[in-house]
Each structure stands twice: as C-alpha cells, then as structure tokens.
Amino acid sequence: AIMPTLLSGIANGARQGILFKNGSQLEMMGKVRAIAFDKTGTLTTGIVQVFQVISAGNYSQADVLKVAATVESVSEHAIGKAIVKAAVDLNWVSAVEVQAIPGQGIIGINNMQQVIVGNAAFVQKHVTNLPEELQKSASVLEEEGKTVVWVAQGGMGRQGGQGGQGGQGGKKQIPISPLSSPSPLSPPSLSSAEVIGLIALADEVRAEAAATIARLKALGVEQIVMLTGDNQRTADSVAQSVGINEVYAELLPEDKLDVIRRLQKQYKTVAMVGDGINDAPALAQASIGIAMGVAGSDVALETADIVLMADRLEKLAVAMDLGRRSHGIIK
C-alpha cells in the first residue's frame, strides 16, 4: 500500500503541475544523479519559426517553401508545422506517399517528383552534392543556434509518368523527362534529385532553462547532458546558452537510448527529459522518464513516468525535492 507521505508527495506534486504516475517514481526521482535533456521542445520552446530561406540556382525562396510544404503538410514535427505556416499563402497541394523518418527528415512525391526535406546527412543520401555556397551559409546559421533543413527535389526514375495529381503548385517546377526512363529492371533512381535550397528555423531557448540547470547542479546532480537529433553546431550553441557542457548531437532515437544506457553504467539512476516520438526509447530506458505535458507527443506522455503538465522546467527541481523528502520515511 502507498504510505501517506508518498500520497502527500504525489498530491503535492499534482498541485504544482507535476504528474507522478506512481509512488515509486517519486522516490526514484530523489535518487537521480544524472539527467539527460532533449533539445528541441524540451530545453527550447519547440515553437519553431522559419527564420530564413535560401534558394539555389534558379529557384525562388517561395519555390523552396512551397516544395517543402508539400511533404511537411502531413508532418507532426515542429519543423514541419513551421514550414507549412510560412508557406500558407503560397499555392501548393500536399504530396503523396509521404513518409516521415524520425530524427532525419521527410520524403514524398509531388508533381511526379520526389521531394526530400531533412538534415544534411539525410538529404545527402538522395543528391549528388550540397551546393558549397549554401553549406557556408548553413554553418553560419547553425553557429547562431538555428536549425537548417535542406530541400531537394528530383527525378523519379521509372516511376515517373504515373498519375498527375497536384499540379497547380509550382509553376517553376521542372518536370523531369518522362521519356528518358531507365530499363524496367533498374530500381527507381533518385540520382537526379537536386538541392533547391535550405530553410533555417529558429526556436527559442526556454526562459527558465539556464536557471533550472544551475539549480539542478546545486541540488547535487552530478552530470547533465543534452541529447539531440539536430546537428552539432546548433546543439553546441544552445547547450552553451543554458550551461550544459556535454552534448551528444546528430542522434537517432536508438542512439539517445544508448547514451542513457552508458550514463546508467556510471551514475545508476538517470533521468531523461523529452517531448518527442524520437525520445520515447530513451524515456523508456531511463530510470525516470519525464515528458513535457504541452509540447509532448502522445507517445512521450505515455512512456514517461512523470509529466510536467505546464512544460515548466523549474518543476524538475521541485520534483527532485519532493522525491528526496519521500526517502527515509517510507520503508
């Protein structure tokens, strides 16, 4: 049976917007020695906005936004929502066969062409090169803490020529020649995809993030790290502004889980704070998974042991305090 002190700890937490799913997690929270934070939506607000669009070749900035929006229109990712919002007054229709790849990007078919939007590593799998000029601009933006996603579009190989949905969008779109179809035995080729531009997104660091990190250190948490799927430069910039000096960037969801495992070997009781589908494996692996209640995806909320109902990071210190006070009283 749950002891009265645990119950009052849980009730106390609930009153302050901290949802403990059960009493043992309240106790566990008091023992945490290392904490891993996701970046986007956790240390930052997750309210992502398009900051700058840079087009390549003959494409316009509007072309870049439009083409990206065709695939992002089905995205649940904050990046996707921001792009769609910025493209709302432009004329485009949703792509078909859209597939989101967590932690990497999104892909689909628009106007008989493949559309690829995502981080550099992901887009690089589909194009021959990232234009050098744009790479330079990307580095500068990333050092300022902006997230850069690349937009590419290109030929469909032998799939070209099927169904002509969604044509009205880009008057600028160059149809790839349906006549030069490769041998029917060869797989669909993506080699003709080309980068048409990049989109830099801004996402503000939560106002209370730096103070919360400082408070957790003061409470004796030995190790605080950041885990993100975003690139290293962007991650370093955000980490520096909140006072975290250990950063693991360009991680896939499974990589986040691996870092948690490694931390557990050294620190035993490890908390993970996250909001996304991409954080779910790490939230499940952590001794204590903590989800952001507002920014959090359904999967994160289900997987977590503790939910910060109002996304207020400072409640982490409150939760730790409640956890510690529950110790020694419960047998």
**Quick one: which of 142, 203, 275, 305 contacts Mg ion (CB under 5 A)?**
275
Query: Per CB under 6 A, does 70 bind ligand ADP?
Result: no
DSSP assignment letter at 60: -
Any residues with CB less than 8 A from the CB of 259 and at least 6 apart, and which?
36, 225, 227, 248, 251, 282
Rounded to a whole number of angstroms, the minimum distance from the CB of residue 185 to Mg ion is 42
Could you give the CA distance from residue 302 to residue 282 in angstroms, rounded to a whole number?
Answer: 13
Q: Phi and psi (nearest 5°) for 198?
A: -135, 160
**Quick one: which of 149, 263, 271, 295 contacts ligand ADP (CB under 6 A)?**
149
**Quick one: which of 63, 230, 236, 311 contacts ligand ADP (CB under 6 A)?**
230
Query: Per CB under 6 A, does 77 bind ligand ADP?
Result: yes
Classify the C-alpha dihedral 99-202-248-225 as positive or negative.
negative
What single-letter amino acid sits at 43? L
Per rule CB under 5 A, count of chain residues that contact Mg ion: 5
Rounded to a whole number of angstroms, the minimum distance from the CB of residue 295 to Mg ion is 8
User: 13, 19 in Cβ contact below 8 A?
Assistant: yes
Could you give the CA distance from residue 151 to residue 167 in angstroms, rounded to a whole number?
Answer: 19
Is 38 noted as a catalytic residue in this protein? Answer: yes
Query: Per CB under 5 A, does 40 bind Mg ion?
Result: yes
Classify the C-alpha dihedral 131-146-301-214 as positive or negative.
positive
Query: Per CB under 6 A, does 131 bind ligand ADP?
Result: no
Query: Per CB under 5 A, does 311 bind Mg ion?
Result: no
> From ligand ADP, Mg ion, none, which one binds at residue 308 (CB under 5 to 8 Å depending on kind)?
none
Per rule CB under 6 A, count of chain residues that contact ligand ADP: 24
Catalytic residue among 38, 255, 279, 305: 38
Could you give the CA distance from residue 316 to residue 257 in angstroms, rounded to a whole number?
Answer: 21
Rounded to a whole number of angstroms, the minimum distance from the CB of residue 229 to Mg ion is 8
Query: Per CB under 6 A, does 103 bind ligand ADP?
Result: yes
**Quick one: which of 20, 34, 38, 156 contacts ligand ADP (CB under 6 A)?**
38
**What is the CB-side half-sphere exposure of residue 91 using CA atoms within 13 A?**
8
Site string for ligand ADP, 274-303 (x = CB under 6 A): --x-x-------------------------
Rounded to a whole number of angstroms, the minimum distance from the CB of residue 91 to ligand ADP is 21
Could you give the CA distance from residue 206 to residue 226 in angstroms, rounded to a whole number?
Answer: 14
**Quick one: which of 147, 173, 212, 287 contacts ligand ADP (CB under 6 A)?**
147
Query: Per CB under 5 A, does 276 bind Mg ion?
Result: yes
- Please choose, out of 32-40, 59-67, 161-169, 239-247, the segment that lies near ligand ADP by the rule CB under 6 A: 32-40
Q: Buried b vs exposed e over 205-229: b needs ≥16 C-beta within 10 Å?
A: bbebbbebbebbeeeebeebbbbbb
For residue 90, give Cα distances in angstroms to 65, 68, 82, 231: 8, 12, 14, 29
What positions carry a catalytic annotation? Answer: 38
- Residues interacting with Mg ion, by CB under 5 A? 38, 40-41, 275-276
Residue ranges in contact with ligand ADP by CB under 6 A: 38-41, 72, 75, 77, 79-80, 100, 103-106, 117-119, 147, 149, 228-230, 276, 278
